[in-house]
Amino acid sequence: MPGDTLLFIEDGVFTLIANSMTYKILTNLSEHHTIAGLLPDIHARGLINRLPEWVTRVDYDGFVAFTETHTHTLSWT
């Protein structure tokens, strides 16, 4: 749904790398959705300078805020 948020955590943050295989798909999704990555995971994998500007960097407090503002969540591995 428009306005949804996709939050990538752990190794999922590799999906956010600019010019990756998923880059075009995520770029299109970012027009109507928030695309975010968990900042500690981004840092831990050395990706801070490899992500597009439209990726929202979220700390743990931001992660909690997402769960408070989004009534439905879906997790998968």
The domain that holds 46 is classified in CATH as 3.40.1260.10
Residue 63 lies in a domain: yes
Residue 26 lies in a domain: yes
Residue 2 has pLDDT above 80, yes or no: no
Into how many domains does the chain fold? 1
Per the structure, the complete domain to which residue 9 belongs is given by 5-69
Residue 55 lies in a domain: yes
For the whole model, what pTM was predicted?
Answer: 0.89
Q: What is the pLDDT of residue 51?
A: 96
- CA-CA distance, 56 to 8, in Å (whole number)? 10
Residue 6 token pair: 């996709």
Residue 11 has pLDDT above 90, yes or no: yes
- In this prediction, residue 3 has a pLDDT band, given cuts at 50, 70 and 90, of confident
Residue 76 lies in a domain: no
Tell me the per-residue pLDDT of 15-64, one tens digit each, with 9 for 90 and over: 999 988 999 999 999 999 999 999 999 999 999 999 999 999 999 999 99
